[in-house]
Amino acid sequence: MMYLYLPVALTSINILLPIGLGLAVGLLSGLFGVGGGFLMTPLLIMMGIPSTVAAATDSNQIVAASTSGTYAHWKVGNVDFKMGLYLLAGGFFGGLLGVEGIKILRAMGNADFVIKITYVLMLGTVGTYMFIESLQSIRKTNTDSAPAKKDGKVGTFLKSLPFQTEFIKSGVTHSILVPLLLGCFVGILAAIMGVGGGFLMVPIMFYILRMPMHVIVGTSLFQILFTCIEVTFLQSYANHTVDFTLAVLLLLGSTIGAQVGAVFGRKLKGEQLKILLAVIVLVVTVKIVFELTMSPSLLLSQAGGH
Amino acid sequence: MKHPFRKLILALKLALISFLPLLAIDADAQLTARANHDHITVDFFYHGGTVSVSGISDPGTDLVIKVASEDAHQNLRKKGKVGGLLWMTVGELEVENVPNFYEIFSTKKLDDIISRDEMEKHGIGFPALRQHAVLNVATEEEKSKWFDEFVRFKSDSNLYAINSGNITLSEKNGMQNYYILTRWPYQAPPGNYTVTVYAIKEGKVIETATSNVNVEQVGIVKALATMAKSNGALYGILSILAALGAGFGVGLIFRKSEGAH
């Protein structure tokens, strides 16, 4: 077995583990446009990496995976940079608000409980809705991947907002306020939950922004790239918890996984991608529910980070 | 014939006899301790090491060997049940006056060779550690519960251990040689560790000897660890650039390989 010592995590690891894990998470990332922190961070902790180092190093790794994935999607014209930038700008403010929000919630006491429950309910609802909706559209084989044409009240309301602009790559027209506010909303949640938010961003882009599924994946990756650059820097600067050696091992797998995922995703229809993502969101929901209800083997863990 | 000082002489004799063993021990006292491989270097391929401790002690003494880092302050997150249903973080546990690393080896089970008082006095065994430890909890009961959790947490990462019956003893020239070879866990962070050997007779520590083990990062491992700590901004920027480079690099490779067919 080939072991490598990690200078910041202060532990030794079998190199096949992070490379394999990187490959799997990179695949999901290239396929669905999510960062994969939900899978990566807990598995790294299971491998003996301190939780603070696991979270920080994961963001460094996502920088590589999402660069690789964004590049692959951009080559085939599936990145809407304009939309991505508006979402990013919103997400940046959301992140700042979220960090303040946690402080207020913590001060009120029992906040973690409320946050976790809200998150589980939200993921569960989004996952179930997506699953049913994409199942229905797959049955109606003739309809294409574009969401149902009925705009409804939300659609009418969105059209009535000022500053309408056209997003050419996505083929949609929205007020710039819409991506800004949605980005902000996901940013707040991501900061509070300590996860990237890809799982909420992708469904929001589909159901509210009405973007085509393939452009969503590329644009989401583009956005995740910048978020993770910011997080990596802050974690290195303030907490000294990024383990570069571990990040390199992870990205050896994840950059390749992201390419494979992007190629594989192109062969799937939007509806198929959507239903697969719905299944994964539901699996994650179940996993979190288990984590919350099963007695942990150890009642203590390393402190620090968020 | 009756000597006037007979009683006094008898008393002196008695006193001498009763003190003799003690004097004898002091005169022969030669507990020694030597840690071999006492400088452990940590490079990229480090996966733990071995440390051996050996020395001489009086025949018939039992031995306890303690390997520990200095007492420190430790912060941990507590998990607990909220609302009688969900497990989540319920606060921080601060533990004061306990080492980060603590291992005990002994010739026999601790309780069979050394008294509780002596264990407490010399910080031998988990009950003794608990006695010294200061935890940010309200009651003794809570302290006991969370200290046990603390020991389980540390044992899980190979930082705390109590082993008995694994010291090899042999007689030579009327002295007792002891030897122990133990695996040094890679989880033990760089730093200085003190090896203390206690010679025990009739439940009491009669002698101690110490030695040191030093764990040090070297080469690139040291350079990376130092940079991450002392120059976080540059370290972060380099990590990001490397990740960006790797992402683009792999992207280009795939583009070429796809273009080829």
The CA radius of gyration of chain A, in Å to the nearest whole number, is 19
| CB atoms near residue B91 (< 10 Å) | 12
What pLDDT score was predicted for residue B139?
92
| Cα of A304 to nearest chain B Cα, Å | 8
| B45/A236 touch (CB, cutoff 8 Å), yes or no | no
Contacts of B92 in chain A (CB under 8 A): 303
Q: How far is CA B47 from CA A210, B38, B186, in A?
A: 52, 16, 6
| Cα of B193 to nearest chain A Cα, Å | 16
Torsions phi, psi of A172, nearest 5?
Answer: -130, 160
pLDDT above 70: residue A134: yes
pLDDT above 70: residue B5: no
| A251/B247 touch (CB, cutoff 8 Å), yes or no | yes
Range A63-77 average pLDDT: 92
Comparing B6 with A236, which gets the higher pLDDT? A236
What pLDDT score was predicted for residue B89?
79
Comparing A278 with A1, which gets the higher pLDDT? A278
Predicted ipTM? 0.84
Q: Provide the phi-psi class of A66: left if phi over 0, else alpha when psi is between -120 and 50, else beta.
A: alpha
Domain extent listing, chain B: 31-217, 223-254
List the single range of A102-106, B74-78, B106-110, B140-144 with lowest mean pLDDT.
Answer: A102-106
Smallest Cβ–Cβ distance between A60 and the set B43, B156, B243 belongs to B243
What pLDDT score was predicted for residue A55?
84
List the single range of A185-189, B11-15, B145-149, B219-223 with lowest mean pLDDT.
Answer: B11-15
Contacts of B149 in chain A (CB under 8 A): 298-300
Q: How far apart are CA A124 and CA B117, in angstroms?
A: 57
Smallest Cβ–Cβ distance between A300 and the set B78, B239, B251 belongs to B78
What's the length of chain A?
A: 306
What pLDDT score was predicted for residue B122?
94
Domain extent listing, chain A: 3-293
Please list, in sequence order, all residues whose beta carbon lies within 8 angstroms of the beta carbon of residue B261, skipping any fewer than 6 positions away: none
pTM: 0.80
What pLDDT score was predicted for residue B135?
93
Query: Which of helix, strand or coil describes residue B92?
Result: strand
pLDDT tens, residue by residue, A286-304: 888 888 888 888 888 877 5
What pLDDT score was predicted for residue A154?
75
pLDDT above 90: residue B260: no
Range B105-115 average pLDDT: 93
